[in-house]
């Protein structure tokens, strides 16, 4: 009996995922718990293991398709079941297309196919979803290339000749009747949603000139883009900027990093900033909240998200209950989260539930930044590069020059606090940063 491979539930709030790529092809032998495919969500990428030994009889969701948790991705069975699943010779075209479309979707940009041999990701995805043979479609693009419009026209023509069949597919807002094909890919949702996305991709292709190369958006990059635009539309952003003297923190770190290292803990500046955020949230609890129409929901627990830059994007793993941990505990958890983030080993729930976010943009040399709020949170703290600067010190409270003034060299950094003006006003924002600054400058 065949074993069903389903889209897993990758976390409490993760309800869908995108098939990034198949690691096995139809007809391949697989072992239980062997990596079968890679799934990409708006947060993380992960591998899905085979639930049983056997032959990969059928792949039902092509690379690039997004489906809900619980959707059937593939079937694993015996060699006899795989042989029985193969269509008759008159269906060979569909079989070639299914693998051909998937191969086309994986074509690297360095191969640069052209003419009829070029298949855009949009066309490849549509072909895989509807089990079409591109060889049967008239290409009106350059060199006979099959475009999205060609595929849409083919589907509409097929629908007109297939009235009375019972498989509905929504195309461009109309319900069309399509002849079902043996082993056709079953994906959640309608083709209308995929075509809406295709419109955007196709529009991007039309904007290219001969000197440009289109890099398709990854699931992570698309999610980041959507989240950032949504955040700016959702809340009025205000940023206030302080500067902090990091002398006390640097002295403490220099005195303790060796003892921390002996315990296997790399003592970076990040846990110091997390501890300073905790001081700020204690001083201004509303900064640890979210805005709702019913009122401001203040979080009782402090779950601090830490932005971690990756080669192709950004993830924000969450350090939970930061206010309950000392510096050593914070440093250990920061090490663990950053390592698992960069090794693609985060669990979906590791990036959920943050109540405030820290972004250390200074690691790249940046001095000042105005971070975008990680919705639905109220605030995000940006930390600039720590650099030596001349600073005026004086025992006098007067701003006029006097004999007590002196110029000293100090390691300084800018702290930028971006907050939701629906929740906090300027005075509260400054009070938060004052507490952060004082914690850093007076580190014991």
421 classed as catalytic: yes
User: Which one from 168, 404, 405, 425 is the annotated catalytic residue?
Assistant: 425
Residue by residue, DSSP assigns 117-186 as G---HHHHHHHHHHT--GGGS---SGGGPPPHHHHHHHHHHHHHT-TT-SEEEEETTEEEEE---TT---
| Cβ neighbour number for residue 66 with a 10 Å cutoff | 22
Instruction: Answer whether residue 429 is part of any domain.
Output: yes
Question: Pick from 242, 375, 223: which is nearest to 305 by CA?
Answer: 375
Residue 227 belongs to a domain: no
Q: Give the number of domains in the chain.
A: 2
Q: Say if residues 198 and 151 touch (Cβ distance below 8 Å).
A: no
Q: With respect to residue 231, please indicate whether it lies within any of the assigned structural domains.
A: no
Residue 436: count other Cβ atoms within 10 Å of its Cβ: 26
Q: Region 156-181: what's the mean pLDDT?
A: 46
User: Cβ of 396: how many Cβ atoms within 10 Å?
Assistant: 11
Please tell me the distance from the alpha carbon of residue 380 to that of residue 419, in angstroms, as a whole number: 7
Predicted pLDDT of residue 444: 86
**211 and 331 fall within a common domain:** no
Mark which of 188, 222, 256 sits at the end of a domain. Answer: 222
Catalytic one of 42, 237, 421, 430:
421
Assess whether 200 and 329 both reside in one domain.
no
Evaluate whether residue 140 is within a structural domain: yes
Are residue 379 and residue 257 in the same domain, yes or no?
yes
Q: Say which CATH number the domain at 400 has.
A: 3.30.559.10
Q: How far is CA 422 from CA 63, 228, 240, 376, 427, in A?
A: 42, 18, 15, 12, 13
CA 144 to chain centre: 36
Q: In what order do the strands lie in the sheet with 72-77?
A: 3-6, 72-77, 54-59, 29-30
Which of 222, 248, 283 is the last residue in one of the domains?
222
Share of the chain above pLDDT 70, in %: 78
Q: How far is CA 112 from CA 203, 213, 214, in A?
A: 20, 10, 11
Lowest mean pLDDT among 153-157, 177-181, 312-316: 177-181
* pLDDT for position 293: 93
Q: Rounded distance, CA 251 to CA 8, Å?
A: 48
What angle do the packed helices 121-130 and 191-207 form, to 10 degrees?
Answer: 160
Residue 9 resides in a domain? yes
Whether 425 is catalytic is yes
Say which DSSP state 18 is in.
E
Q: Cα angle vertex 196, ends 190, 199, to 5°?
A: 140
Rounded-to-integer distance, Cα 287 and Cα 277, Å: 10
For 29-71, what is each residue's pLDDT tens digit? 999 988 899 887 766 777 888 999 999 998 999 888 888 888 9
Is the Cβ–Cβ distance between 115 and 134 less than 8 Å?
no
Tokens at residue 44, please?
Answer: 């993380």
Residue 278 and residue 419 share a domain:
yes
Residues 267 and 347 in one domain: yes
Distance linking the first and last C-alpha atoms of the chain = 66
Shared domain check, 250 and 193: no
Tell whether 266 and 206 lie within a shared domain. Answer: no
- Structural domain that includes position 135: 3-222
Q: Do 195 and 250 lie in a common domain?
A: no
216/102 same-domain check: yes
In terms of domains, do 23 and 120 share one?
A: yes
CA-CA distance, 265 to 379, in Å (whole number)?
29
Assessment of whether the complete model's pTM goes beyond 0.95: no
User: Is residue 166 assigned to a domain?
Assistant: yes
Kindly state whether residues 91 and 194 are assigned to the same domain. yes
| Domain presence at residue 147 | yes
pLDDT of residue 166: 39
- 110 plus 185 within the same structural domain: yes
Please report whether residue 228 resides in a domain: no
Tell me the pLDDT tens digit for each residue of 279-324: 999 999 999 999 999 999 999 999 999 999 988 788 999 999 999 9
Last residue of a domain, one of 178, 200, 222: 222
């Amino acid at each position: 009996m065949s074993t069903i491979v389903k889209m897993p539930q990758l976390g409490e709030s993760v309800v869908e995922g995108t098939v990034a790529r198949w690691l096995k092809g139809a007809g391949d032998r697989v072992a239980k718990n062997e990596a079968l495919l890679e799934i990409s969500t708006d947060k993380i990428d992960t591998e899905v293991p085979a639930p049983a030994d056997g032959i990969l009889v059928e792949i039902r969701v092509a690379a690039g398709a997004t489906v809900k948790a619980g959707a059937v991705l593939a079937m694993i069975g015996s060699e006899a079941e795989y042989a029985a699943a193969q269509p008759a010779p008159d269906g060979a075209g569909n079989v070639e297309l299914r693998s051909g479309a998937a191969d086309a979707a994986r074509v690297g940009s360095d191969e640069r196919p052209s003419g009829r041999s070029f298949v855009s990701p949009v066309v490849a995805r549509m072909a895989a979803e509807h089990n079409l043979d591109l060889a049967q479609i008239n290409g009106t693009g350059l060199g006979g290339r099959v475009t999205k419009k060609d595929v849409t026209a083919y589907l509409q023509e097929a629908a007109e000749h297939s009235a009375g069949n019972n498989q509905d597919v929504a195309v461009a807002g109309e319900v069309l009747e399509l002849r079902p094909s043996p082993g056709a890919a079953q994906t959640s949702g309608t083709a209308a949603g995929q075509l809406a996305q295709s419109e955007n991709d196709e529009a991007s292709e039309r904007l290219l000139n001969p000197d440009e190369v289109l890099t398709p958006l990854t699931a992570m990059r698309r999610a980041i883009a959507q989240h950032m635009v949504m955040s700016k539309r959702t809340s009025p952003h205000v940023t206030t900027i302080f500067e902090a003297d990091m002398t006390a923190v640097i002295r403490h770190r220099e005195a303790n990093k060796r003892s921390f290292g002996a315990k296997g803990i790399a003592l970076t500046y990040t846990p110091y900033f997390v501890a300073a955020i905790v001081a700020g949230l204690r001083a201004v609890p509303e900064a640890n909240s979210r805005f709702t129409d019913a009122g401001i929901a203040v979080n009782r627990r402090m779950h601090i998200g830490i932005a971690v830059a990756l080669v192709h994007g950004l993830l924000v793993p969450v350090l939970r209950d930061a206010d309950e941990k000392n510096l050593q505990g914070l440093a250990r958890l920061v090490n663990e989260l950053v390592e698992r983030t960069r090794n693609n080993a985060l669990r979906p729930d590791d990036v959920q539930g943050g109540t405030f976010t820290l972004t250390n943009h200074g690691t790249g040399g940046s001095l000042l930044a105005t971070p975008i709020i990680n919705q639905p949170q109220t605030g995000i703290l940006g930390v600039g590069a720590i650099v030596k600067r001349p600073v005026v010190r004086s025992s006098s409270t007067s701003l006029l020059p006097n004999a007590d003034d002196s110029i000293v060299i100090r390691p300084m950094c800018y702290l930028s606090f971006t907050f939701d003006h629906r929740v906090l006003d300027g005075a509260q924002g400054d009070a938060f940063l004052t507490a952060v600054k004082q914690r850093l400058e007076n580190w014991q």
